[in-house]
Structure 1
Amino acid sequence: MSSYRQEYAWAKKLLTKAGCESPAFDALCLFSHAFGMDRTGLALSGDKEADGEKVPSFRGQVRSRAGGYPLQYLLGEWEFMGLPFSVGEGVLIPRADTELLCETGLSFLKGRRTKRVLELCAGSGAVAVSLAHFDRDAQVTAVEKSPQALSYLRQNVARHGSRVTVAEGDVLVKPAQDAVYDLILSNPPYIPAGEIGRLMKEVSFEPRMALDGGEDGLLFYRAIVTHYPSLLCPGGMLAVEIGAEQGEQVRRLFEEAGFSQVAVGRDLAGLDRLVSGIWPGGKRTAQVCNFDRNTV
């Protein structure tokens, strides 16, 4: 039988050989997930015989990771804005780059009298739930079309005790009625359809529905700036995550739609990552948007 240290070393070696970008980190994550032992535990108890009942499952997950299967799906959850979110096949994995979208929304809401928020293409709910968690006065509605993603969205809303309202809806179709929101956020699919097959292997396991932005990657941005300004109150903000090469194109779409103060935000790597704009609009009265709603 092997020791815990030998199991970890085997995993690290296999992942290194497979070309994983962070073999030591991935090996430790899977090791901790399988054996309930962190780095300190490994240092203190590494020479003990590994739990024979857990070894086969651990090795199977390591082999899956070596084959390109996402680490996040194997672990069943991933962190976003310091909070754990349940993830799995059928839902986009939350990424640190998207925290800029959430932080932009939180900054905009700070000090506002009303904080009505709509998130489009909500996926796992990472943005909607985090925003509601860090701003307790926010009234958030999260819209998602995919049945699989909706399942994770509901799980994460329930997991964090959030007051987020979950709504099923197709972002490409204009809602039947107007509503009033102070802030609309979205991390929509934005990868050009022809480029999806050239992405990293592990991305191929994520739902194409959450990646495919149409022929030029701008399909959802056009729909959002066409259908959703009417749902914003005067002075309300629309903010969307973008691909690193899409800043100028999406900025132009915002300006052509009538947004003011249009800005392109950059991530920690200095890449274009977000476009935001303020809707000047006119006088509005509150109504209810006719999404297919159900609150968790």
Structure 2
Amino acid sequence: MAATVQQLLAWARGLGLPVLEARMLLEHVSGLDRTRQAAWPETALDDAPAARFQDLAQRRVAGEPVAYLLGSREFFSLEFEVDANVLIPRPETELLVELALERLPADAPCRALDLGTGSGAIAVALARHRPLLAMTAVDRSEAALAVAGRNAARHGAAVRLLASDWYSAVAGERFELIVSNPPYIAAGDVHLEQGDLRFEPRGALTDEADGLAHLRRIVAGAGEHLAPGGWLLFEHGYDQAADCRALLAAAGFAAVQSWQDLAGIERVSGGRLG
């Protein structure tokens, strides 16, 4: 006998799955949105979607991120494909996009570089909001670049994607803006073994050192790739702002500053070249 919406939700509740998450997963496998689930709980599902729902529910209870189970996550009002090869875009990273857009002209050609693009969320958001922008995004992971490519195509964003270990593939090129959300979690940080981070690509989370190794490389190399007056902006950890400002100042950047996210945490730092 086919299971109904009500029966499946009750089963999921027995597993300890929050109702909202259960309804999201049920919508994903059945196409029944949450309004229809609530209005017609007696609706029966075929065996295949019911089994798929049960599989996803059990994986979620085991800790797998909802974004990976659904295959997508919203960022900057755009829907992005995500899988286990890329980080899940987070709301606090929208601050980096906002700060970048403030520094990119809306009515003139400009060049920007996204280092470690992952899903392409930052690069695609920038390209969508600045049609004249020549956007380049790099990542050392071919699997991540494939996801980024699909996201760029999905949103009609003109983004040049390159396989690169930070600046290696853009030798001799200069940009008016460089942005990055690099791996900045220290190797011994307990958060790496908690929540969604357990399932995300470790190489996109930590430098396996003190958390500043990649940030040092990004800051040190930026001078060779920024146009005069160009900006470097990057996300970092909750306790790294002072260290990041010191790195920027030592590298000769002007207007060095850190910006707070909506939680009041200094989340992005940056400066202007010259």
Q: Please classify the TM superposition score into its range, dividing by the shorter chain length.
A: over 0.9
Structure 2 residue 80 is the aligned partner of structure 1 residue 79: no
1:103 aligns with 2:98: yes
C-alpha displacement at 1:24, in angstroms?
2.6
Shift of 1:137: 1.3
Q: Give, in whole Å, the separation in 2 of the partners of 1:103 and 1:10.
A: 42
Name the SS of the counterpart of 1:143 in structure 2.
Answer: strand
- 2-structure distance, mates of 1:224, 1:198: 23
Asked whether the 8 Å contact 1:174–1:227 carries over to 2, the reply is no
Paired letter, 1:47: E
Query: Per the alignment, do residues 197 and 277 of structure 1 end up closer, same or farther by CA in structure 2, a change over 3 Å counting?
Result: closer
Mark the runs of 5 or more structure 1 residues left unpaired by the alignment.
Answer: 17-22, 281-296
Cα shift at 1:135: 1.3
Q: Does the aligned pair in 2 maintain the 1:174–1:228 contact within 8 Å?
A: no
The answer to whether the Cα contact below 8 Å between 2:24 and 2:34 also exists between their aligned partners in 1 is: no
2:216 corresponds to: 222
Alignment-derived partner of residue 11 in structure 1: 12
> Alpha-carbon deviation of 1:197?
6.7
1:103-160 deviation per Cα after TM superposition (whole angstroms, max 9, x unaligned) = 1111111357442100000000000001101111111000010122111111111211
Give the corresponding residue for 1:146: 141
1:66 alignment counterpart:
61
Change beyond 3 A, Cα 1:7–1:256: same
Distance 1:50 1:196 in 2: 41
Q: Residue type of the partner of 1:81? A: F
Q: CA RMSD in A?
A: 1.7
Q: CA deviation at 1:51?
A: 2.7
- In the TM superposition, residue 75 of structure 1 has moved relative to its aligned partner by 0.6
Q: Structure 2 residue aligned with 1:189, among 183, 188, 213?
A: 183
2:177 partner SS: strand
Q: How many angstroms does 1:201 deviate by?
A: 3.8
Question: After superposition, what is the alpha-carbon deviation per residue over 1:223-259, rounded to whole angstroms, capped at 9, x for unaligned?
Answer: 0111122111111100000111111111110111111
Q: Deviation per CA, 1:33-63: give whole Å up to 9, x if none.
A: 0111112111222122233331111000000
Q: Which residue of structure 2 lines up, in the alignment, with residue 178 of structure 1?
A: 172
Is the contact made by 1:184 and 1:232 (CA closer than 8 Å) also made in structure 2? yes
- Partner amino acid, structure 2, of 1:140: M
**Matched residue, 1:89:** 84
Match in the other structure for 1:168: 163
On the 8 A contact 2:191/2:197 being kept in 1, the answer is no
The residue aligned with 1:287 is: none
Partner amino acid, structure 2, of 1:31: L
Task: Map 1:202-281; keep pairs closer than 5 Å.
Answer: 202-280=196-274
Task: Say if 1:115 and 1:182, in contact at 8 Å, map to a contact too.
Answer: yes
Give the C-alpha shift of residue 12 in structure 1.
3.5
SS in 1 for 2:85: coil
1:32 is matched with 27
Once the 2 structures are TM-superposed, how far is the Cα of residue 85 of structure 1 from its aligned partner?
0.9
Normalised by the length of structure 2, the TM-score is: 0.94
Once the two structures are superposed, what CA deviation does each residue of 1:7-37 show, in whole Å capped at 9, x if it has no partner?
1232234234xxxxxx232212101101111
Question: Gaps (5+ residues) in structure 2?
Answer: none
Q: Does 1:159 align with 2:154?
A: yes
Matches of 1:209 and 1:256, distance apart in 2: 27
Worse-matched range after superposition: 138-147 or 37-46? 37-46
Q: Partner letter of residue 8 of structure 2?
A: E
Instruction: Tell me if structure 2 keeps the 8 A contact 1:239–1:277.
Output: yes
Paired residues of 1:15 and 1:27 also in contact (CA < 8 A): no
| AA partner of residue 84 (structure 1) | E
Kindly tell me the number of residue pairs found equivalent between the two proteins.
273
Contact 2:183 2:211 in 1 (8 A): yes
Aligned partner of residue 95 in structure 2, secondary structure: helix
CA contact (8 A) 1:190 1:214 kept: no
Contact 2:108 2:132 in 1 (8 A): no
1:123 aligns with 2:124: no
